[in-house]
Amino acid sequence: MKLIKLIYKFNFIIFFFFNIAHSQENTYSCKNEAYSFLKQTIGKWHVITKDRTSPNVYENNYGTSIITSSIEGCGVKESYKGVYRNKKYAREVFLTGLDSTNVEMLALDSEHGSFSTLNGSIKNNELTTYWYRNKEVKRLQSKYIMSFTDTNTFEFSSYLSTNHGKDWALTHQRKYYRINYEEIEMKTKDSILVYGDLYTIKKEYPTIILFHQGGSNAKGEYHSIAPKLLNEGYNIMAIDQRVGGSSYYGGYNRTISKLGTNSFTYCDAYTDLEAALDYIIGKKYNGNKILWGSSYGAALAIQLASKREYDISALLAFSPSTGNAVKTCHPNQYINQIGLPFLLLRPKKEMERESSVEQFSIAKEHGHQTYIAEHGTHGSSMLVKDRVGADVNKNWNIVLEFLNKHRN
345-369 pLDDT tens trace: 999 999 999 999 999 999 999 999 9
Residue bearing the bigger pLDDT, 43 or 84: 43
Query: What does the mean pLDDT of the chain come to?
Result: 88
**C-alpha dihedral sign at 153, 159, 164, 165:** negative
What is the per-residue pLDDT for 270? Answer: 98
What is the per-residue pLDDT for 177? Answer: 92
User: Quick one: pLDDT band at residue 6, thresholds 50, 70, 90?
Assistant: very low
What is the per-residue pLDDT for 200? Answer: 96
CATH number given to 2-178:
2.40.128.20
User: Quick one: pLDDT band at residue 115, thresholds 50, 70, 90?
Assistant: low
**C-alpha dihedral sign at 195, 200, 202, 207:** negative
What is the per-residue pLDDT for 344? Answer: 98
Closest CA to 103 of 62, 156, 50, 179: 156
Mean pLDDT of 286-315: 98
Percent of the chain with pLDDT over 90: 61
Highest mean pLDDT among 102-111, 256-265, 398-407: 398-407
Q: Report the C-alpha dihedral over residues 235, 300, 276, 310, rounded to 10 degrees.
A: 80
What is the per-residue pLDDT for 57? Answer: 87
Q: What is the rounded distance in angstroms from the CA atom of residue 299 to the CA atom of residue 167?
A: 59
User: Quick one: pLDDT band at residue 37, thresholds 50, 70, 90?
Assistant: confident
Highest mean pLDDT among 62-76, 82-96, 118-132, 173-187: 173-187
The ranges assigned to domains in the chain are: 2-178, 180-405
Percent of the chain with pLDDT over 70: 89
Class of the CATH-defined domain 180-405? alpha beta
Does 109 have pLDDT greater than 70? yes
Residue bearing the bigger pLDDT, 30 or 26: 30
What is the per-residue pLDDT for 174? Answer: 92
| Residue 140 neighbours by CB under 8 Å, 6+ apart | 132, 133, 134, 160, 161, 162
Mean pLDDT of 257-286: 95
From residue 241, alpha-carbon distances to 215, 216, 269 in Å are 10, 9, 6
Least confident of 116-130, 217-231, 253-267: 116-130
| Residue 401 neighbours by CB under 8 Å, 6+ apart | none
Q: Count, in order, helices (H) and strands (E) of the chain.
A: 11, 18
What is the per-residue pLDDT for 137? Answer: 62
Closest CA to 199 of 228, 236, 173, 153: 236
What is the per-residue pLDDT for 30? Answer: 65
**Backbone φ and ψ of 207, nearest 5°:** -120, 130
What is the per-residue pLDDT for 253? Answer: 94
139-162 pLDDT tens trace: 788 889 999 988 889 999 999 898
Residue bearing the bigger pLDDT, 400 or 100: 400
User: Quick one: pLDDT band at residue 179, thresholds 50, 70, 90?
Assistant: very high
Does 245 have pLDDT greater than 50? yes
200-215 pLDDT tens trace: 999 999 999 999 999 9
Does 236 have pLDDT greater than 90? yes
